[in-house]
Structure 1
Amino acid sequence: MNIPDIPNNHALAMLLVTVVALYFFRRDDIPLETSSLAVLVILCLLFTIFPFEINGTHLEASSLFFGFGHEALITVCGLMIIGHALVRTGALVPVGRYLAKLWKISPGLSLLITLIVAGFLSAFVNNTPIVVLFLPILTNVALRTRTDTSGMLLPMGLATLVGGMTTTIGTSTNLLVVSVASDMGLPRISMFAFATPALIAASIAIAYLWLIAPKLLPKRTPSLPDTSPRIFSAYLNINEESIANGTTVAEVLKMTDGQMNIQAVQRSPEYQNIVPFPDTKLKVGDRLLVKDYPDQLKEFESATHTTLFSGSHKVDENHPLNAEKQTLAEIVVVQQSGLVGRTLKEVQFAKRYGISVIALHRGGNAMEIGRRSIGHVPIQTGDVLLVQGESEQIDELKENQGFLIIDGAAELPYSQKAPLALAVLFFVIAVAAFGLLPIAISAMCGTLFLLITKCLDWRDLSVALSSQVVLIVVASLALGSAMMQTGGADYIAQMFVALAYDLPPAGVLSALMLMLAVLTNVVSNNAAAVIGTPIAISVATQLGLPVEPFILAVLFGANLSYATPMAYKTNILVMNAGGYQFSDFIRVGVPLILLMWVTLSFLLSWIYL
């Protein structure tokens, strides 16, 4: 084994920055946008303070900003916008409705068709809107048929990841690998260039997700176990025996340790509402409008010696609490909601939407916080808010682009603009597939058409774009470029070749894919892909082998993000909606990774080497 010589100082610095970047990307307590920007700033400062020259060429620190105008980023943004248009206009809703009807006829066949359709759609559209479409449909099916969601949601989520690796536009990871390889002078990989090995592997994966994965998953309780309202509006009637008689609102609140939230004071003869100021004096005949959990309401009744009424009836066994027109729903927070990093109190969530937040689920579990403390907790992507409100309010909230609503009952929105949005998607794909226009240009043409036809407006565009995706792409491209230019990528490739010197070419290819598969489940798959691409090119060059299969090994390996919830953003959405645990992803994801790794390693070696 020939150990390569130590590279130059800048290359060593790049290796150190790469380790630091991977550490930052792995941290859950640091926003990925912040980590990405920090990596970009560190790179720029490093090359400004310590200039780097190679073969008489000076590396300008400002050139590392090239990612902001890179074709890959333009394409990713364009496709995110088009995907958002499909959700906004309800263009994919008919697919969901037909599948929902089929579930009543044959659940087993329906699951297979769902997996195939989810995978097929994800080959051309970012998989987040696909998951957003299918989660409420499958949850609805489970609630109405009284079946377990465990065997549905996780296989569906993983099917979208499998489908996304079959074309160059299926994921941002694919686009980055193809673009970086093109930047380094390799021929441009066409949209369906690797469809043959990808489709064979995807077919095997779908069969696994259909027949085996559901049996590996234990029954899990979703974060919305039932559909009965949790919060009730009721009245506390003040009578002569009540210790609240003759006291002020502030004094009554002290009787409940400040727990009671008085909505209004109603005073006869016509029970007009009186604003509950702290010094408002209460008297016999007044009734306090309160809203809380049933057990809390009973405690308030006991503490104030009042009588609890719901409507015109005293609350007892014969007349239990009743929440008319109220319904429960789950809101899964996605990046575009405007809530990420902020608290519900800061955005005035209850006042803006007229909905009560009952519980907050994070990482598949309910957070141990009181309902009144929920408003002070910073919200993260993938959090699930259990809310209660009138059906009309829930329906209005569905129109907000930043929320995934899972109520298991209501219909998904559908508009007359849906056919236009679908037509734009087909146009963008067809024009790029036939080589008439580069995908970046066709995606921008599609975006312009969506604006002209008013399928979307500029506010929708700003909602569709994810700052997280933009910055991780830019930072990853900058880091990959710096590693290549300084020789850091070559050094890693030399070390990799030295360690794998006893392996045949097929073994080196397989080892590279496995390394990327492990990396993508720990850090961002985009970062893993961009860092791995120049290494793959260098490895193939040093071995004197065709470059394309090694590029595809990186592309496929970086897509095998099945084993951890944090490996891909849709994994978090599925985890929260289905009540899955970390171990469920390992139980289903690790065998799927091994299955795909073996299959793709064989196919790439057989077809290309």
Structure 2
Amino acid sequence: MEHFDVIIVFVVLAFILVSLYKEILGAAFTFFVATMVLGFFGVLTPKELLAGFANEQLAVIIMLLLLGDAIRQISVIEIFFSRIFPRQSGYRGFLSRIMLWIGGFSAFLNNTPLVAVMMPYVHNWCKRNNISPSKLLLPLSYAAILGGCVTLIGTSTNLIVNGMVVDQTIFPDMEPIRMFDFFWVGFPMLIIGFLYLFFFGNRLLPERNILSKEISGSERKYVVEAKVHKSSKLAGKTIEESGLGNSKGLFLAEVVRKKYTFQVFDKDFVLECGDLLRFAGESEDIANLLSDGSNLTLPTVGMMSKLKRADVVEIVISHNSSLISKMVKDVKFRAKYDSVLLAIHRNGERITGKLEELKLKAGDVILILAGDDFNSRLQDDLDFYVISKVKEVRKPERYKVWTLFGGTLLAIFLSALNLIPLFMGLLVVLVVINILGVVSAKDLPKNIDYNLAVIIALSLALGTAMIKTGVADMIADFMISILFPFGKIAVLAGIYLITTVLAAYITNKAAVAIIFPISLTAAHALELNPLPFALVVSFAAAANFLTPIGYQTNLMVYGPGGYTFKDFFRIGWPLTIIYMVVTVVILNYMYL
């Protein structure tokens, strides 16, 4: 019977490898079928199958994802990024900021929404500086991966490994992995990864001109007005010093000062308080201008700038509209449609004079900032048609920002000091932000990644089956017999290499599920400290640079960057080898 159980486990492992590599069933359903077979043949009891769902680390992962989604909803990261990434910067300067800021944030926040929020900034910067986004999107993903490996909560992979450490029975006295046990490898590699991409990235990264193909012939230039207000830092600065010559994708066309309009000015033109700046730009560039009111205000917006939430919408004036020949100021967009005009496009025609005094024509495309009542007031109105929603603009309230960020950081800090469990700290934060209305309790279930939860819980059950049947012992003994004659470092390196290859082609969570029990069994057989054998699996699975399918952020930039599998391998394999050497050397020095 024992031999039969061993055969069943090996068959299940082969099924998982083939199914995930060939993408036959999907990760969650693959693990479901695999563990169902183990339960059907009695390899695992129902209690063992379901034990993973009660694992504390699974709950921590879900809560961190929920808090990350709450941070995304209040748009605070987007606003912060608009401040820290300068308007004027060379390629290496912008790359440096991406690597260091995203890497730093990823150590404590879920890196997937960070990359999602940062991608538009990369595209806009590339557009302004005529650089292919393929030169920056892959470093963006790598920065998120490198930063995620610095702490326990930086990536779900680290938390999964910690969950397996808590559940394992091979080393009964083994302590859970602490918050900064990853730091001694993760932080040096964040710096090394930055230096690698800083000095060799531009040479190794491909130049795909997909951006120009996307926008050529389809871009629509709008005219928008912005004012230099009294407390603006731009007053007294030249066009060059202010960075407004081609700011955020907007072309500065005119400066209106009192009764004079300056249409031709050089980089030494000095701005003054009260200057009205007339820009030309695309819809998203103008929408982004709403997020940065520190130096410029949009006169047409007025009190609608106080709204907590609004939409930037494109509309077109219909051919039989009652708005035709009316001045913008006479339309009274705010009273009639709960909206204000931001910018206007007139089929490439040059627009002069103040926007509020412009007479509307049929076919004018207008960018408006719409409030909550816009759609209801638009019913049965044929004056214009809605083309598209460009962007949702949120203005986070300070107490929400401080509650969410402060609470999350406090929970992490107290956990790092071993004063309270991270589980309890995050649970309190979630309760508080719900009570204070930072997020809606009704929306929380919608934001839970149930597939991820199933994969993690069932992968823990798979690990139990491998240890229980002795399969982990068999594979570990085989690895030791080959690698141990070359020393302990060779064993760690072998585990790292196998894990990273599996993670690159069958997902990192599956790789952890298969290799972790083998790694810990090897530590037990060699009578060595189990901690480095747990950490090496985590680093190898999380620091995945070889393929776009190995990590979710790689997949996010794969299409937009126009990359191929060869691109990831060419840039990723040297970094993978460097990461393996650094990991093995440091872990061997510290623990073995």
Q: Same fold (TM over 0.5)?
A: yes
Per-residue deviation, residues 140-196 of structure 1 (Å, max 9, x unmatched): 111122222122111011111011111111111101111211222321121012312
In 1, the alpha carbon distance for the partners of 2:458 and 2:212 equals 38
Q: 1:425 to 1:225 in 2, by over 3 A?
A: farther
Give secondary structure in 2 for the equivalent of 1:393.
strand
Give secondary structure in 2 for the equivalent of 1:577.
coil
Selected match of 2:32 from 24, 37, 57 = 37
CA contact (8 A) 1:223 1:579 kept: no
Alignment of 1:269-284 (within 5 A): none
| One-letter amino acid of the structure 1 residue matched with residue 163 of structure 2 | S
In 2, the alpha carbon distance for the partners of 1:496 and 1:7 equals 22
In 1, the alpha carbon distance for the partners of 2:410 and 2:466 equals 37
CA contact (8 A) 2:50 2:461 kept: yes
**1:95 partnered with 2:80:** yes
In 2, the alpha carbon distance for the partners of 1:210 and 1:464 equals 36
Q: 1:428 to 1:268 in 2, by over 3 A?
A: closer
In 2, the alpha carbon distance for the partners of 1:106 and 1:223 equals 19
| One-letter amino acid of the structure 2 residue matched with residue 212 of structure 1 | F
**1:205 partnered with 2:200:** no
Superposed displacement of residue 77, structure 1:
0.1
Which residue does the alignment assign to 1:285?
none
Which residue does the alignment assign to 1:86?
71
Which residue does the alignment assign to 2:54?
69
What runs of 5+ residues in structure 2 fail to find an aligned partner?
221-317, 323-346, 349-361, 369-374, 379-384
In 2, the alpha carbon distance for the partners of 1:223 and 1:573 equals 16
Per-residue deviation, residues 95-150 of structure 1 (Å, max 9, x unmatched): 3112332x514442232122011111111111101101211111111112222212
In 2, the alpha carbon distance for the partners of 1:554 and 1:228 equals 46
Selected match of 1:9 from 4, 7, 16 = 4
Per-residue deviation, residues 71-95 of structure 1 (Å, max 9, x unmatched): 1210110000011111111222343
Q: Which has the higher contact order (CA 8 A, sep 6+)?
A: 1
Which residue does the alignment assign to 1:217?
205
In 1, the alpha carbon distance for the partners of 2:583 and 2:319 equals 74
Q: 1:98 to 1:14 in 2, by over 3 A?
A: same
Selected match of 2:416 from 433, 450, 461 = 433
Alignment of 1:408-447 (within 5 A): 414-416=396-398, 417-447=400-430
Give secondary structure in 2 for the equivalent of 1:578.
coil
In 2, the alpha carbon distance for the partners of 1:188 and 1:269 equals 68
Give secondary structure in 2 for the equivalent of 1:395.
strand
In 1, the alpha carbon distance for the partners of 2:128 and 2:363 equals 23
In 2, the alpha carbon distance for the partners of 1:104 and 1:490 equals 58
In 2, the alpha carbon distance for the partners of 1:19 and 1:223 equals 42
| One-letter amino acid of the structure 1 residue matched with residue 560 of structure 2 | A
Give secondary structure in 2 for the equivalent of 1:558.
helix
Superposed displacement of residue 590, structure 1:
1.2
| One-letter amino acid of the structure 2 residue matched with residue 580 of structure 1 | Y
Which residue does the alignment assign to 1:603?
586
CA contact (8 A) 2:132 2:211 kept: no
Superposed displacement of residue 201, structure 1:
2.0
Alignment of 1:240-389 (within 5 A): 324-325=365-366
Selected match of 2:162 from 162, 178, 199 = 178
Give secondary structure in 2 for the equivalent of 1:92.
helix
Alignment of 1:496-511 (within 5 A): 496-511=479-494
106-115 or 184-193: bigger deviation: 106-115
| One-letter amino acid of the structure 1 residue matched with residue 496 of structure 2 | M
Give secondary structure in 2 for the equivalent of 1:457.
coil
In 2, the alpha carbon distance for the partners of 1:427 and 1:178 equals 21
Which residue does the alignment assign to 2:128?
144
**1:560 partnered with 2:543:** yes
In 2, the alpha carbon distance for the partners of 1:15 and 1:565 equals 28
In 2, the alpha carbon distance for the partners of 1:191 and 1:513 equals 21
Q: TM-score with structure 1 length normalisation?
A: 0.67
In 2, the alpha carbon distance for the partners of 1:142 and 1:439 equals 40
Which residue does the alignment assign to 2:431?
448
Which residue does the alignment assign to 1:247?
none
| One-letter amino acid of the structure 2 residue matched with residue 603 of structure 1 | I
Superposed displacement of residue 415, structure 1:
4.7
Selected match of 1:189 from 177, 185, 203 = 177
In 2, the alpha carbon distance for the partners of 1:223 and 1:110 equals 18
In 1, the alpha carbon distance for the partners of 2:386 and 2:578 equals 47
| One-letter amino acid of the structure 2 residue matched with residue 144 of structure 1 | R
Per-residue deviation, residues 298-333 of structure 1 (Å, max 9, x unmatched): xxxxxxxxxxxx99xxxxxxxxx9782489xxxxxx
- How many residue pairs align between the two structures? 445
Which residue does the alignment assign to 2:105?
121
Per-residue deviation, residues 7-51 of structure 1 (Å, max 9, x unmatched): 73212311221121122223335333322322232222222xxxx
In 1, the alpha carbon distance for the partners of 2:552 and 2:386 equals 30
| One-letter amino acid of the structure 2 residue matched with residue 570 of structure 1 | T
In 2, the alpha carbon distance for the partners of 1:575 and 1:157 equals 10
Selected match of 2:390 from 390, 394, 416 = 394
Q: TM-score with structure 2 length normalisation?
A: 0.69
CA contact (8 A) 1:118 1:163 kept: yes
In 2, the alpha carbon distance for the partners of 1:392 and 1:598 equals 51
CA contact (8 A) 1:100 1:141 kept: no
In 2, the alpha carbon distance for the partners of 1:515 and 1:462 equals 36
CA contact (8 A) 1:93 1:414 kept: no
| One-letter amino acid of the structure 1 residue matched with residue 483 of structure 2 | A
In 1, the alpha carbon distance for the partners of 2:397 and 2:571 equals 37
Q: 1:38 to 1:119 in 2, by over 3 A?
A: same
Q: Give aligned-pair identity as a percent.
A: 27
CA contact (8 A) 2:150 2:187 kept: yes
| One-letter amino acid of the structure 2 residue matched with residue 85 of structure 1 | A
In 1, the alpha carbon distance for the partners of 2:32 and 2:509 equals 15
215-224 or 74-83: bigger deviation: 215-224
**1:523 partnered with 2:564:** no
Alignment of 1:543-558 (within 5 A): 543-558=526-541
Q: 1:93 to 1:510 in 2, by over 3 A?
A: same
Give secondary structure in 2 for the equivalent of 1:220.
coil
Which residue does the alignment assign to 2:96?
112
Superposed displacement of residue 494, structure 1:
1.1
In 1, the alpha carbon distance for the partners of 2:213 and 2:433 equals 39
165-174 or 598-607: bigger deviation: 598-607
Per-residue deviation, residues 345-366 of structure 1 (Å, max 9, x unmatched): xxxxxx9xx9xxxxxxxxxxxx
